[in-house]
């Protein structure tokens, strides 16, 4: 089958695992690579406006009203990432556009990094505390948070959580309020999605509730924590330590953090393993094949 006879797939920016996934996708879809075109983006999109039904969305692609207005036939936005903070979900819903994510493709590797950061912080602070038996609160008991919880159980930790709603099947203690969760734990691990509602959810009050011995780990998104307040608390010894894989203004990292012995920093790499990328690629392809076959999407985003 000729490429032009395959279903069209719009890609505005190259995916993170560009070479591998493009090779896989090109066998099943006619790839419209906007970044390779000499045309300005709006002209390129206008050329295919009436025919493009599906788009592969890189995490750096802003899927907003301005972009979607140029794509009236679009019915699917597939992202190879777990997060959707670069996609205007309200606008997509209003236009009848489905959104799919990588599902749990990155969950295990991100959970491993979360536990690794927690161990590193616990072992580096002055008391050289152990992890076993600690009370650990998880903010966001989704795919990643659930994997973190399983690992914490193996260390004998007492796990509790905060989420948008109580998980009926979960054996862990639920707190509807993040402040109360922080007040009743020795460590907080941030695993939730970044939305308007979770921006700066971890603020001065929550950090104060965590206390001078408390540790915070963030593998979600940087802006879930009020970073200026976090830095202040760390510098003044108002919390015990932090393990951070994400930052509010990436790639900028507050300089004060580099001088602190009770802080472990990682360059937003929790999900960057060959295994995760391969799982994500398979999920993207499965969702696209389901869409073009009029079958149920494999990992639709319903948040």
Is residue 193 a contact partner of residue 110, using CB atoms and an 8 Å limit?
A: no
CA-CA-CA-CA torsion for 276, 29, 299, 281, nearest 10 degrees?
Answer: 0
CB-CB neighbours of 89 under 10 Å: 16
Task: Please tell me which residue in 108, 129, 147, 221 is annotated as part of the active site.
Answer: 221
Active site (annotated) includes residue 279: no
Active site (annotated) includes residue 250: yes
- CA–CA distance, 149 with 173 (Å, rounded to integer): 12
Task: Please tell me which residue in 93, 123, 213, 250 is annotated as part of the active site.
Answer: 250
Helix (H) or strand (E) holding 160: strand 158-162
Closest CA to 176 of 190, 187, 161, 197: 161
Q: At what angle do helices 274-292 and 18-26 cross, to 10 degrees?
A: 30
Active site (annotated) includes residue 50: no
- CA–CA distance, 220 with 270 (Å, rounded to integer): 10
Is residue 78 a contact partner of residue 55, using CB atoms and an 8 Å limit?
A: yes
Helix (H) or strand (E) holding 158: strand 158-162
Task: Please tell me which residue in 268, 278, 282, 289 is annotated as part of the active site.
Answer: 268
Long-range contacts of 159-163, Cβ-Cβ distance < 8 Å, separation of 24 or more? 160/135, 160/136, 160/184, 160/185, 161/137, 162/137, 162/138, 163/139, 163/192
Helix (H) or strand (E) holding 277: helix 274-292
* Residues involved in catalysis: 221, 250, 268
């Amino acid at each position: 089958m000729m490429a032009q006879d395959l279903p069209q797939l719009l890609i505005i920016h190259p995916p993170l695992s560009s070479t591998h996934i493009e090779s896989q996708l090109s066998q099943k879809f006619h790839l419209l690579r906007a970044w390779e075109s000499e045309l300005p983006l709006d002209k390129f999109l206008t050329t295919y406006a009436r025919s493009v039904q599906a788009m592969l969305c890189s995490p750096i692609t802003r899927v907003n009203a301005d972009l979607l207005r140029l794509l009236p036939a679009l019915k699917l936005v597939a992202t190879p990432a777990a997060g959707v903070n670069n996609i205007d979900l309200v606008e997509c819903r209003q236009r009848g556009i489905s959104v799919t994510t990588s599902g749990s493709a990155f969950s295990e590797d991100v959970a491993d990094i979360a536990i690794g950061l927690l161990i590193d912080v616990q072992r580096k602070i002055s008391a050289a505390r152990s992890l076993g038996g600690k009370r650990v609160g998880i903010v966001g008991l989704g795919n990643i948070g659930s994997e973190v919880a399983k690992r914490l159980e193996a260390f004998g930790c007492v796990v509790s959580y905060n989420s948008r709603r109580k998980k009926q099947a979960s054996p862990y203690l639920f707190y509807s309020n993040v402040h109360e969760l922080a007040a009743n734990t020795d460590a907080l691990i941030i695993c939730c999605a970044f939305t308007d509602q979770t921006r700066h959810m971890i603020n001065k009050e929550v950090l104060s509730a965590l206390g001078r011995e408390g540790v915070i780990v963030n593998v979600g998104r940087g802006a879930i924590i009020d970073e200026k307040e976090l830095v202040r608390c760390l510098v003044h010894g108002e919390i015990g330590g932090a393990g951070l894989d994400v930052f509010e203004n990436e790639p900028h990292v507050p300089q004060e953090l580099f001088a602190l012995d009770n802080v472990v920093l990682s360059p937003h790499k929790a999900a960057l393993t060959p295994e995760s990328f391969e799982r994500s690629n398979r999920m993207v392809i499965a969702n696209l094949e389901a869409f073009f076959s009029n079958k149920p999407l494999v990992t639709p985003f319903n948040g």
